[in-house]
Amino acid sequence: MKPALRYIIILFIVVVAVMLIRIFLVGSYRIAGSMLSSSLNVGDYVLVNRLKLKISHDRNRLMLYRSPLRQDADHPPLFVGRCIGAPGDIIQASDVGFRVNGSLLPNVHTMPSTFRIPKNIKEPLIQTLKTLQIPFRPMKEDSTGIILRMSLCEKELLNRNLSQVVAIEMIDEHSIKFEFIVPSKGKTIDLNETVITVYKEAIAQEAGNDIVFRDGKLFIQDEENSSFTFQNNYFWILSENETEGIDSRHLGVIPQNYIVGSIWYCLYSKVAANRFKRIH
């Protein structure tokens, strides 16, 4: 065989091998503004493991996934989030955070709690929040105080920097706001007005044009359905950037085939400490 022909064949094999690896095994991506995570920075280049792992091994992994919204079908944006719920898991959402199969997720800054603060310090409170660069979240007021969501760390910062000593009271610490099951293939799940929003996009994708959501209920071919049998596996994924990140709280449950893969390594970052860093 002529050396030139041998070189062309070897080059062809290498190119095909690289393409197959990128398609089926590993892909490289640049973190953009729509892909937010406290573990990564905008502009970072990451390696994504495309191999489909066992479902039980997907919990707590930082995942790259596409938006499942029907309106995004033509050009679905990519998001980064941590998988906290796999098919069959029971998720309980409350003011103190999320419980998965009865276990409270570790207390992290991205899981804010709800506090009541006296009404007479509203102006100093707003000014102190701005000074400390604590993200502004919508406030509510009742007869006794201002109700505000923030992390325990933010609460301590606020306590130390307010111009006067006030009682900041945690409220509804153990109240469960809603509970749902992350759908698994072939699983029939009962529906109610509260949880139907979690499943709405998934049901619409699976059932097609024969469905209507009306008054918090599901109608298929004009017949009300109090349950739905899912044909795919789904995941519940939360962004590590609570103030700006988009996740399952906005998108609903994420279909398995919309997950690109788990983020494996940070190849390059403006932050030197993050370069060639394993992502957990």
**Nearest in space to 164 (alpha carbons), one of 117, 119, 121, 116:** 121
What is the Cα–Cα distance from 186 to 53, expressed in whole angstroms?
20
Query: Above 90 in pLDDT, residue 193?
Result: no
Q: Identify the band that residue 24 occupies on the pLDDT scale cut at 50, 70 and 90.
A: very low
pLDDT for residue 25 is more than 50: no
Cα distances (angstroms) measured from residue 139 to each of 61, 80, 142 = 33, 28, 10
- Yes or no: say if 202 and 183 are a contact pair by the CB < 8 Å rule: yes
Confidence of residue 86 (pLDDT cuts 50, 70, 90): very high
Q: Where are the domains of the chain?
A: 1-84+236-280, 113-170
What separation in angstroms does the CA of 158 have from each of 121, 148, 168? 12, 12, 9
Neighbours of 221 (CB within 10 A): 9
CATH topology of domain 1-84+236-280: Umud Fragment, subunit A (2.10.109)
- Pick from 175, 179, 190: nearest CA to 90: 179
Give the contacts of 265 (CB within 8 A, at least 6 positions apart).
46, 47, 276, 277, 278, 279
pLDDT (0 to 100) of residue 194: 81
**Amino acid 109: pLDDT:** 37
106, 112, 115, 119: CA torsion to nearest 10 = 160
As to burial, measured by CB atoms within 10 angstroms (0-12 exposed, 13-18 middle, 19+ buried), residue 3 is exposed
Give mean pLDDT, residues 91-110: 70
